[in-house]
Structures are given as C-alpha cells and as structure tokens.
C-alpha cells in the first residue's frame, strides 16, 4: 500500500497547505514522490474550495514552494482510514482530529512539531491568519524543519 501523509490545520489556507507544499518538495528531493502521497485539509469549513491565503503563497514562493494550485477542503471520516500519517499543526487541531477519528485510527494522529529537529519551546505552529508577514515566514521556518524530521521518521518506519 502506498504511504500517505495528511497535514491538517483549521482553515486549510495557511499552515497545512504550506506543509503540503514543503513536504512535497522534500519528497521530490528525496526521490520519494512516487512512494509517499501528500495532501492537506482543514477542520473548519469557511474556506472550502479557496486557494491558500496570498500571504502564505508569498511566504512559500520566496522559499521556492508553490502553493498556488492547492484548494482548501474539509477533513472527512474517510481520511482517517485512507492516510497513514495525519499531522496536526497545533494542539487544537490535534484535539479536534482525535474527536473526529474512529477510535481504531486515533494512533495515526501526531503533532507536526513533535518531529521538529531544532530545539523549540512550544508544540504549536502558531496560527498566522490574524498576524503579519513575519508570522507567515515563521510558519515556513517551523514547517520546513519539522517536515524534514517527519520525512526522516517515515523513512525509518518504511525501511
């Protein structure tokens, strides 16, 4: 069975699409794009069908990550059986996912920053929606580091 990763935040227009684009670039660089599939989704329904927030697109593009073709969608019940790794951006998303998930799939849910390689004092990728461009750049920094850690973890599990 093909391995798969689903990144989840609240709106699916800032943090989780950033993680999707970053992780996809890292999979390409590692030659794993045919082995591991990646998607993102939100726990809130306000932005379904919309492209990522233009600030997230800009912050990503400045670092070589293309978010422009992604479109927001809601997490579904089927996601919990379909995806092997379900990665929450913050503890609120984590709690919401635990509640939405059928019990037999709850073990698939993790927090992204538990895979961080750099030392950080918190477990949440802060929600940048009401913030500044600096907050969006901070999201890319946190996501890029933790996605590398996640990829290394998955590679160990698959080997």
Q: Closest distance between ligand 4NP and the C-beta of residue 127, in Å? A: 5
φ, ψ for residue 2, nearest 5 deg: -65, 140
* Of 55, 97, 93, 67, the residue nearest 80 (C-alpha): 97
Backbone dihedral region of 43: left (phi > 0), alpha (psi from -120 to 50 degrees) or beta?
alpha
Q: 53 in helix, strand or coil?
A: coil
Q: Is 79 in the site for ligand 4NP (CB under 6 A)?
A: no
Q: Is 113 in the site for ligand 4NP (CB under 6 A)?
A: no
| Chain centre distance of CA 20 | 5
Among 5, 6, 9, 150, binds ligand 4NP (CB under 6 A): 9
Q: Is 8 in the site for ligand 4NP (CB under 6 A)?
A: no
Residue with Cβ nearer ligand 4NP (30 or 44) = 44
In this chain, which stretch among 12-20, 58-66, 100-108, 145-153 interacts with ligand 4NP, using CB under 6 A? Answer: 12-20
* Of 78, 12, 23, the residue nearest 50 (C-alpha): 12
Q: Is 71 in the site for ligand 4NP (CB under 6 A)?
A: no
In this chain, which stretch among 3-11, 22-30, 74-82, 114-122 interacts with ligand 4NP, using CB under 6 A? Answer: 3-11
**Interatomic CA distance for residues 113 and 130, integer angstroms:** 21
Among 6, 7, 12, 26, binds ligand 4NP (CB under 6 A): 12
In this chain, which stretch among 7-15, 59-67, 111-119, 149-157 interacts with ligand 4NP, using CB under 6 A? Answer: 7-15
**Quick one: three-class SS letters along 75-99?**
CCHHHHHHCCEEEECCHHHHHHHHH
Catalytic sites, residue numbers:
9, 15, 127
Q: Which residues of this chain interact with ligand 4NP, rule CB under 6 A? A: 9-15, 46, 127, 129
């Amino acid at each position: 069975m093909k391995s798969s990763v689903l990144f989840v935040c609240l709106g699916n227009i800032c943090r989780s699409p950033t993680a999707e684009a970053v992780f996809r670039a890292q999979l390409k660089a590692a030659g794993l794009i045919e082995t591991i599939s990646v998607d993102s989704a939100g726990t809130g329904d306000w932005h379904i069908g919309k492209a990522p927030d233009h600030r997230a697109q800009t912050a990503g593009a400045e670092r070589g990550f293309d978010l422009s073709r992604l479109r927001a969608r809601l997490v579904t019940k089927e996601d919990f059986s379909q995806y092997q790794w379900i990665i929450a951006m913050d503890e609120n998303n984590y709690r919401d996912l635990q509640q939405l998930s059928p019990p037999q799939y709850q073990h698939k849910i993790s927090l992204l920053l538990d895979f961080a390689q750099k030392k950080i004092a918190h477990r949440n990728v802060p929600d940048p929606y009401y913030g500044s461009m600096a907050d969006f750049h901070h999201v890319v920094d946190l996501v890029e580091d933790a996605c590398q850690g996640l990829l290394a973890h998955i590679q160990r599990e698959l080997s």
